Homo-oligomer: A and B are copies of this chain.
Amino acid sequence: MSATPVIAASDSQTIAFPELVTLLKQIFLNHGTSPDVAAVMANNCASAQRDGAQSHGVFRMPGYVSTLDSGWVDGKAVPIVEDVASGFVRVDACNGFAQPALAAARPLLVEKARSAGIAVLAIRNSHHFAALWPDVEPFADEGLVALSVVNSMTCVVPHGADRPLFGTNPIAFAAPRADGPPIVFDLATSAIAHGDVQIAARKGERVPPGTGVDSLGQPTLDPRAILEGGALLPFGGHKGSALSMMVELLAAALTGGNFSFEFDWSNHPGAKTPWTGQLLIVIDPSKTAGQNFAERSQELVRQMHAAGLRRLPGDRRHRARARAEEEGIVIEVAELARLRRLVQG
């Protein structure tokens, strides 16, 4: 590594995006992935770090390493892309990560969306342990509208139930607009993302009320009680719970993947990545009647600002990205040292 980081603060420094990608790629390679998989995963994880998504950036690397070392996920899997119908692509990720499966199917998916007006990608036998917005944003960069859902692992109590069943089951959406970066959001259907509970536990902070329950099913503000035998709650009561159920149906039942409660990793100590499925829907807005879609979405943004909204969903990420491109990515010194130790394998 030839990084010559600028000291940003006493306990943090900066690293350029390409250097972070190279470092993360080396970690993936040294823990048994193929070069193709290492390239996709390193780029994905470095992008999250660059965009300020703390809970899905390099914070995830020890989890990737331990799951690879456990033999739970196949880091050398070669996804099998199946062309099923004029708007339907299936991918068997073959027990590999979801992102290389998406990358393999992406050209066919885009071609179908532009030709049919809409297309769906159903990924199964896949492990998704990352933020979901990096999966949808590139479609909007190409002028397409994209929606994705992924199910994860049992840690959310359905509204009205007694014990956890659903995963954090995020929904991500991206749409192009005329005068700025795409409109993008990525939201867990749980009251809080699992990674944020882990970060709160590590920092010794409390979580907001309504976030989760302890092992006895009682409401708690202690992130460790949630992580150790407790569970999360859906966001927004029965509505978030219904959406989480929809994610199980779309990401698992409709792809041929596992529900969040179906996989058993007990024989793989250190396994961290849910072995489930992912669904993406891509729509070509050039098929839309009337005015250009990107002009219309720009008009919505204008009106949202006029209504007093200072920050759009995704704005914080885009600002962090712009700053990182100017000044490098801020990273804690200790974190960078941990990453360098992970390279050793």
Contact = CB atoms under 8 A, between A and B. Distances in A.
Contacts of A145: 249-250, 254
Interface stretch (A10-18, A233-241, A336-344): A233-241
A81 interface: no
B313 A242 contact: yes
* Count of identical protomers in the assembly: 2
Contacts of A82: 289
Interface in A175-205: 175, 183, 185, 187
A253 interface: yes
B252 A163 contact: no
Given A281-B281, A288-B255, A165 B303 contact: yes
B299 A162 contact: no
Interface in A255-313: 255-256, 259, 261, 281, 283-285, 287-291, 293, 296-297, 299-300, 303-304, 307-311, 313
Interface in A114-162: 115-120, 122, 124, 145, 157-158, 160-162
Interface stretch (A86-94, A98-106, A219-227, A324-332): A86-94
A164 interface: yes
Interface of A: 82, 84-88, 90, 92, 115-120, 122, 124, 145, 157-158, 160-165, 171, 173, 175, 183, 185, 187, 235-240, 242-243, 245-246, 248-250, 252-256, 259, 261, 281, 283-285, 287-291, 293, 296-297, 299-300, 303-304, 307-311, 313
10 contacts: A86-B87, A87-B117, A90-B289, A116-B118, A175-B253, A185-B245, A187-B239, A248-B300, A249-B297, A252-B300
